[in-house]
């Protein structure tokens, strides 16, 4: 699948933002005044920046409000609802923290759960797609949630954030291990795609069109896969191991900032791979497993 920068930025930043908002909502940090303003602004900023980035992916954004209508069937529509509900529900909690209004924490706890719900709906948009076997697995939402929880714990300076960061690494390893065999397990070949397996073994004689098209650009992405192994190592070190080690050093707030920067870079590499390595079955018609 084509790793569009808007979608990579969207899912990574909003995942981190909603993860952090969840911890703020749960009261992991109880800041006040300017400190509270800056922390909540960081959470909202990441989440909203991610959502805005996603609108750059739309061909016809003027209809974006209609995306709230199909929550009964569409995970994308559910994501629209959960994200907006989270941002609205946590707003009074944020104001309460900033101005010391002393609102009950229950609202924050519900908002925190909704924030994780948002991350889950994002993940389900990908996990539901049967035509991309690598994504169509319960490990996809596990990975998205692991990133959100680890990122949130890191930004809110939890002592056990390094454990969650290492868990992200373990989930990534599992995702890659399971994902590498997913296409073969789905059992689709050029033979089943065309039904010509009942005759013999098909191969492409002539392309359907000599120039590119939307399908090939969007779903039959092959560029850059040769660096996949290197990128996996980079993602693993940056997203998981390096920030975990940095957090264990006595660097205080700077340590958290450095660990967050490393983790974000690693998360972006992992998300790039999530798209670039995903193969769509439509590639079978074009003779590409990709």
Partner 1 sequence: MTALPQATQTKLGLVIDLDTCVGCQACVTACKGWNDAGIGLSDQNPYGADPSGTFLNRVHSYQVAIPDAPAQVVTFPRSCLHCDNAPCVTVCPTGASYKRAEDGIVLVNEDACIGCGLCAWACPYGAREMDEAQGVMKKCTLCVDRIYNETLAEEDREPACVRTCPTNARHFGDLADPDSAVSRLVAERGGYDLMPDMGTKPTNKYLPPRKKGPGTASPLAPLLDVKATGIAGWLDRMLGKI
Spatial distance between the Cα atoms of 245 and 241, rounded to a whole number of angstroms = 6
Between 252 and 281, how does the x/- string for binding to partner 1 read (CB under 8 A)? ----------------------------xx
Interface residue with partner 1, options 106, 159, 201, 223 (CB under 8 A): 201
Q: Is 212 in the site for partner 1 (CB under 8 A)?
A: yes
CA 189 vs CA 132, 199, 280: distances in Å: 13, 14, 11
Task: Provide, rounded to whole angstroms, the least separation between the CB of residue 82 and partner 1.
Answer: 13
Spatial distance between the Cα atoms of 168 and 267, rounded to a whole number of angstroms = 10
Q: Is 6 in the site for partner 1 (CB under 8 A)?
A: no
Q: Is 69 in the site for partner 1 (CB under 8 A)?
A: yes
CA 124 vs CA 48, 130, 140: distances in Å: 20, 11, 8
Give the interface segment with partner 1, choosing from 21-29, 42-50, 71-79, 223-231 (CB under 8 A): 71-79
Q: Is 60 in the site for partner 1 (CB under 8 A)?
A: yes
Closest CA to 21 of 75, 76, 89: 89
Q: Is 134 in the site for partner 1 (CB under 8 A)?
A: no
Query: If you search the block for the tokens 């209809």, which residue do you land on?
Result: 63
The DSSP annotation for 76-106 comes to: HHHHHHHHHHHHHHHHHHHHHHHHT----TH
Closest CA to 89 of 157, 38, 18: 18
Interface residue with partner 1, options 106, 203, 223, 253 (CB under 8 A): 203
Q: Is 168 in the site for partner 1 (CB under 8 A)?
A: no
Interface residue with partner 1, options 8, 21, 22, 80 (CB under 8 A): 80
Task: Provide, rounded to whole angstroms, the least separation between the CB of residue 226 and partner 1.
Answer: 24
Task: Provide, rounded to whole angstroms, the least separation between the CB of residue 280 and partner 1.
Answer: 7
Closest CA to 145 of 163, 127, 123, 165: 123
Spatial distance between the Cα atoms of 102 and 217, rounded to a whole number of angstroms = 53
Of 1 and 260, which CB lies nearer to partner 1 in the complex structure? Answer: 1
Q: Is 70 in the site for partner 1 (CB under 8 A)?
A: yes
Interface residue with partner 1, options 5, 33, 61, 224 (CB under 8 A): 61
Q: Is 192 in the site for partner 1 (CB under 8 A)?
A: yes
Task: Provide, rounded to whole angstroms, the least separation between the CB of residue 217 and partner 1.
Answer: 8
Q: Positive or negative, the Cα torsion across 66, 50, 21, 91? A: negative
Q: Is 207 in the site for partner 1 (CB under 8 A)?
A: yes
Give CA 94 to chain center in angstroms.
Answer: 25
**Site residues (vs partner 1, CB under 8 A):** 1, 57-61, 63-64, 66-70, 72-77, 80, 125, 128-132, 186-188, 190, 192-196, 198-209, 211-215, 218-219, 280-282, 285-286
């Amino acid at each position: 699948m084509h790793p569009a920068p808007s979608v990579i930025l969207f899912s990574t930043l909003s995942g981190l933002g909603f993860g952090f908002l969840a911890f703020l909502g749960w009261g992991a940090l109880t800041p006040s005044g300017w400190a509270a303003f800056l922390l909540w602004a960081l959470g909202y900023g990441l989440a909203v920046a991610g959502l805005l980035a996603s609108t750059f992916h739309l061909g016809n954004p003027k209809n974006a409000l209609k995306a709230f209508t199909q929550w009964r069937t569409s995970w994308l529509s559910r994501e629209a609802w959960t994200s907006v509900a989270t941002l609205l529900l946590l707003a009074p909690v944020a104001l309460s923290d900033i101005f010391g209004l002393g609102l009950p924490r229950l609202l924050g706890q519900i908002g925190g759960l909704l924030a994780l719900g948002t991350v889950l709906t994002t993940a389900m948009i990908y996990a539901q797609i049967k035509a991309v076997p690598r994504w169509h697995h319960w490990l996809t939402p596990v990975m998205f949630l692991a990133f959100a929880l680890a990122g949130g714990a890191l930004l809110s300076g939890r002592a056990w954030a390094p454990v969650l960061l290492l868990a992200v690494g373990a989930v990534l390893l599992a995702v890659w291990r399971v994902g590498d065999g997913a296409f073969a397990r789905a059992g689709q070949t050029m033979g089943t795609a065309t039904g010509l397996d009942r005759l013999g073994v098909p191969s492409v004689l002539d392309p359907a069109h000599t120039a590119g098209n939307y399908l090939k650009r969007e779903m039959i992405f092959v560029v850059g896969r040769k660096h996949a192994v290197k990128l996996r190592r980079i993602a693993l070190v940056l997203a998981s191991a390096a920030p975990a080690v940095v957090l264990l050093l006595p660097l205080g707030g700077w340590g958290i900032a450095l660990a967050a920067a490393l983790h974000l870079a690693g998360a972006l590499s992992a998300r790039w791979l999530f798209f670039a390595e995903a193969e769509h079955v439509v590639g079978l018609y074009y003779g590409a497993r990709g």
